[in-house]
Structure 1
Amino acid sequence: MVSVLLVLKDKCLGARVNRNKAHSKVVDVTTFGAKGDGVADDTKAFLRAWEAACNKDSATLHIPVDHRFLVGPLTFSGPCKSNIVFQVDGSIIVQVNPKAWTSKLVEWINFEILNGITIAGKGTLDGQGAVWWKISKLQDEVNDSRYSGSSLLSVRPTALRFYKSYDVSVQGITIQNSPKCHLKFDFCTSVKVVGVTISSPADSPNTDGIHLQDSRDVEIHHSSMACGDDCVSIQTGSSGIRIHNINCGPGHGVSIGALGEDGTKACVSNVSIYDIKIHDASNGGRIKTWQGGSGRLKSVSFSNIKVSNVRVPINIDQFYCHDKPCSNHTSAVFISDITYEKVTGTYLDTPVNLACSDDVPCTHLKFKGIELQPADRDEKSPFCWNSYGEQQSGAGCLKTGTPPNDPSLGHSPKDAC
């Protein structure tokens, strides 16, 4: 699988990067004082190199091979004079000295307000997350005196984040051992992620692979993700999302949500997830919402999903509650027009879990070609609650027809998206 991803990455996307490099001005971080020895702090040198690249036409900021650049939190801001290629051929490793995190920043490498930014190469971003994971698990009982009482206790940064940017491309790089989320997009449009490898241990806390928030026209494909949380997490304000040809596991599967936390309004639509493999994960294709929220999730399809040793391959949970006291509410995010097609493989707990809101049922669900077998040969029954639609397989338990309290009738203005 990995070799196929690399071949496709090189053939399909190498041309674009090479064209950019052929007509660009190369800015090498070492010419701005970066040592790349893994010991010296190269943060300021990276910022100087970015300023130079940002003011050139079609610049390539180069992170050369056979170097390990130690850097603290970095923000690369635009707008820039023209498109920039951030070419990562070497390694960039995070600074774990607590003095580097006194500002309590929540991102390690942050790109913002850019029109045309490509991160490419075969290099690595290493978040050295074990330091943060240890602190997260031990909380105030940190035994290591170097970090006791430090700012590392109050911040766990995302490794790579893009904010308010257009025409964003991330190609080929490896992001590993992120303190928290590996790759995040906030308020971005026209995003492509291809040939990316994300790698963290299964027990690393809250280490989502890719997180989308308020982003549109996003395609993620031919990538591999192993992490301690959702391989891909799709949050409110996102639409026009296409995820295909990815390998996910271990992790929590591919998830939409959790939506509607603390009574907020959530809107997600037009999501296509297809031709993916999920293994050794807690979920396959999952939708999760908090009680008390509002808004709408619609037009979502999971198709040709192959699972192996997945606890719950098909999961809609509108009673999501995580690490806080939760109570019942009558309002909920309205879920409709959701398709699961050709979901095949083995499960550990139950093949299907549809726990829809008591007062706002899930409607227009479709099951086609669901073929799920227990990994231990002890077959479990699917679970459906207040869920309506049609099924063309034996793995479902949907109610047919229209619910008496169909939320699509007389939909309130606060729920409209």
Structure 2
Amino acid sequence: MGILRALFSLCVVTSFLSLGPRSSLGRSHFHKGKQSSAHRVNGGHRVVESPVRSPAEPPATGASTSLDSCVFDVRSFGAVGDGSTDDTEAFRSAWRAACSVESATVLVPSDGVFILTSTIFSGPCEPGLVFQVDGVIMPPDGPDNWPESDSKHQWLVFYQLEGMTLRGEGTIEGNGEDWWNLPCKPHRGPHGSTLPGPCDSPVLIRFFVSCNLTVKDLRIENSPQFHIKFDACEDVHIEGLSISSPAFSPNTDGIHIENTRSVTIYNNMIGNGDDCISIGPGCSDVDIQNVTCGPGHGISIGSLGMHNSQACVSNVSVKNAVVRNSDNGVRIKTWQGGMGSVSGISFDNVYMENVRNCIIIDQYYCSNKGYCQNQSSAVYVSGVSYANIKGTYDVRSPPIHFACSDTLPCTNITMFEVELLPHEGELVDDPFCWNAYGAMQTATIPPIPCLQDGQPESLQEIASPDC
């Protein structure tokens, strides 16, 4: 919670901040094709997680700096947009110029394909800044072409900003296919071969320590890892995005939020190889409406409590959603040994089509099956409602699965108008429940006799002072 309090202070006093010099983070760059020397950049520094700001540099000669339009076209700063030239420095220059002007727009024109290496666009900036992507922007094509000096954990980062908008009619293309084939977890590797140890794969777009953000109307596709991530942010509005990657693409969550509060996610279409929307620890007041998911792993809260950590998630609402051809529908997943709580969660009017594990609470989540130790502490799950959940399920798994902690039961689970039928085959009428308590407000299909009425006789003391 300390990081959220710091973020709140940042949003209140952003206009009064005065930070030290900010590196433009120049570095050697991948060149997809032959490139003129005017666009080559030598040497440089590794991307860091928390850059600091420097004064904006003056725009290049010929840049549009009219105070009437306040439009900073990246081509006026030297961007070529031919799909092979490295245009990173032109984008940085356009950003620095626009950052110092109120209500400015960085324009990525519609008639270009622009290659960028890993870049941090940092603030604070003047109010009303818009990053308008009408063309195509993309990173180098795969890990073999990724500059050695660049971070392999992130590509485009927007840092310490207030009141910024990322929008446009264009495409942010991730060039992720070669990343997905890396022979390391969670990637499958060529011919199904996977070596131990994690992969270093970049998040495509990351917002970090920022507030009052809008992201809308873009197409984002084929990310090496998460498509878009919000970390330590507040007051975020996401609308009208089309996010797509193949079903086999590993760890390609569509929208991921953590340590972030006051989020609205409306009218988005997401198909990928992992969670459609994932909600991590430290999130509260999240409103999700009119989202279509699939293929993928559905809408997930978690995983929470990894490595015996504390995780707090509250006041999450999912309404008027569609989940198709997915491994999961709506899911809450926590690790054994964690602490904290998940509370005030509602799923209302969700349509499922051919979904495996339509409704699932799993407090025994383990990404490495067989290597997770049994532990007694848990993230407390309470106050979860399911209303008007209808559609069809994949009969390979029961459509409802409540696996709650041995020592800390799930409580106040309510079921209303839940009707799930097999997509193909015969009805599976044995939902799984373990240590789950709640109320059946209407009859369900299939019936859930294993959900225990009322409250357990005793609950161990919940040590979650910051939740």
TM-score (norm 2): 0.79
Structure 1 residue 196: deviation in Å? 0.2
User: Which residue matches 1:318?
Assistant: 363
Structure 1 residue 99: deviation in Å? 4.8
Gap change, CA 1:327 and 1:138, over 3 Å in 2: closer
Correspondences of 1:317-396 after superposition (within 5 Å): 317-323=362-368, 325-348=371-394, 349-380=397-428, 381-391=430-440, 392-394=442-444, 395-396=447-448
Structure 1 residue 100: deviation in Å? 2.0
Greater gyration radius: 2
User: Which residue matches 1:3?
Assistant: none
Candidates 153, 170, 175, aligned match of 1:106: 153
2:79 aligned partner, one-letter code: A
The answer as to whether partners of 1:212 and 1:234 remain within 8 angstroms in 2 is yes
The answer as to whether partners of 1:295 and 1:333 remain within 8 angstroms in 2 is yes
User: Which residue matches 1:192?
Assistant: 237
Report the Cα distance in structure 2 between the residues aligned to 1:259 and 1:142, rounded to whole angstroms.
Answer: 27
Gap change, CA 1:92 and 1:386, over 3 Å in 2: same
Structure 1 residue 347: deviation in Å? 0.6
Describe the SS at the equivalent of 2:453. coil
Report the Cα distance in structure 1 between the residues aligned to 2:279 and 2:220, rounded to whole angstroms.
Answer: 19
Report the Cα distance in structure 1 between the residues aligned to 2:345 and 2:400, rounded to whole angstroms.
Answer: 17
Correspondences of 1:68-83 after superposition (within 5 Å): 68-83=113-128
The answer as to whether partners of 1:241 and 1:271 remain within 8 angstroms in 2 is yes
Gap change, CA 1:138 and 1:372, over 3 Å in 2: closer
User: Which residue matches 2:456?
Assistant: 403
Report the Cα distance in structure 1 between the residues aligned to 2:164 and 2:68, rounded to whole angstroms.
Answer: 15
Report the Cα distance in structure 2 between the residues aligned to 1:211 and 1:339, rounded to whole angstroms.
Answer: 22
Structure 1 residue 402: deviation in Å? 1.6
The answer as to whether partners of 2:152 and 2:202 remain within 8 angstroms in 1 is yes
Gap change, CA 1:114 and 1:259, over 3 Å in 2: same
Is 2:272 the partner of 1:222? Answer: no
Structure 1 residue 74: deviation in Å? 1.1
What RMSD in Å do the two structures reach over aligned CA positions?
Answer: 2.0
Q: Residue by residue, what CA displacement relative to the aligned partner does 1:81-128 show, whole Å, maximum 9, x if unpaired? A: 222100010000111354524333411110010011101111000010
Which range moved further: 154-163 or 307-316?
154-163
1:385 aligned partner, one-letter code: W
Describe the SS at the equivalent of 1:370. strand
Report the Cα distance in structure 2 between the residues aligned to 1:138 and 1:271, rounded to whole angstroms.
Answer: 30
Correspondences of 1:11-160 after superposition (within 5 Å): 24-96=69-141, 98-136=145-183, 155-160=200-205
Q: Structure 1 stretches of 5 or more lacking a match?
A: 1-20, 144-152
Q: Structure 2 stretches of 5 or more lacking a match?
A: 1-65, 191-197
- Which has the larger strand fraction? 1
User: Which residue matches 2:345?
Assistant: 300
The answer as to whether partners of 1:24 and 1:58 remain within 8 angstroms in 2 is no
1:364 aligned partner, one-letter code: N
Report the Cα distance in structure 2 between the residues aligned to 1:194 and 1:164, rounded to whole angstroms.
Answer: 20
Structure 1 residue 323: deviation in Å? 2.3
Report the Cα distance in structure 2 between the residues aligned to 1:139 and 1:385, rounded to whole angstroms.
Answer: 29
Report the Cα distance in structure 2 between the residues aligned to 1:388 and 1:350, rounded to whole angstroms.
Answer: 18
Report the Cα distance in structure 2 between the residues aligned to 1:103 and 1:159, rounded to whole angstroms.
Answer: 14
Describe the SS at the equivalent of 2:180. helix
The answer as to whether partners of 2:186 and 2:250 remain within 8 angstroms in 1 is no
Which range moved further: 377-386 or 69-78?
377-386
Report the Cα distance in structure 2 between the residues aligned to 1:386 and 1:218, rounded to whole angstroms.
Answer: 32
Report the Cα distance in structure 2 between the residues aligned to 1:393 and 1:281, rounded to whole angstroms.
Answer: 25
Which range moved further: 26-35 or 100-109?
100-109
Report the Cα distance in structure 2 between the residues aligned to 1:83 and 1:362, rounded to whole angstroms.
Answer: 44
Q: How many residues align?
A: 385
Identity of aligned residues (%): 43
Report the Cα distance in structure 2 between the residues aligned to 1:107 and 1:180, rounded to whole angstroms.
Answer: 9
Gap change, CA 1:167 and 1:141, over 3 Å in 2: closer
Report the Cα distance in structure 2 between the residues aligned to 1:364 and 1:318, rounded to whole angstroms.
Answer: 16
Structure 1 residue 287: deviation in Å? 0.2
The answer as to whether partners of 1:294 and 1:415 remain within 8 angstroms in 2 is no
The answer as to whether partners of 2:118 and 2:151 remain within 8 angstroms in 1 is no
Report the Cα distance in structure 1 between the residues aligned to 2:67 and 2:262, rounded to whole angstroms.
Answer: 28
Candidates 329, 340, 364, aligned match of 1:284: 329
The answer as to whether partners of 2:177 and 2:222 remain within 8 angstroms in 1 is yes
Q: Residue by residue, what CA displacement relative to the aligned partner does 1:332-368 show, whole Å, maximum 9, x if unpaired? A: 0000000011100001121200000011100011000
1:384 aligned partner, one-letter code: C
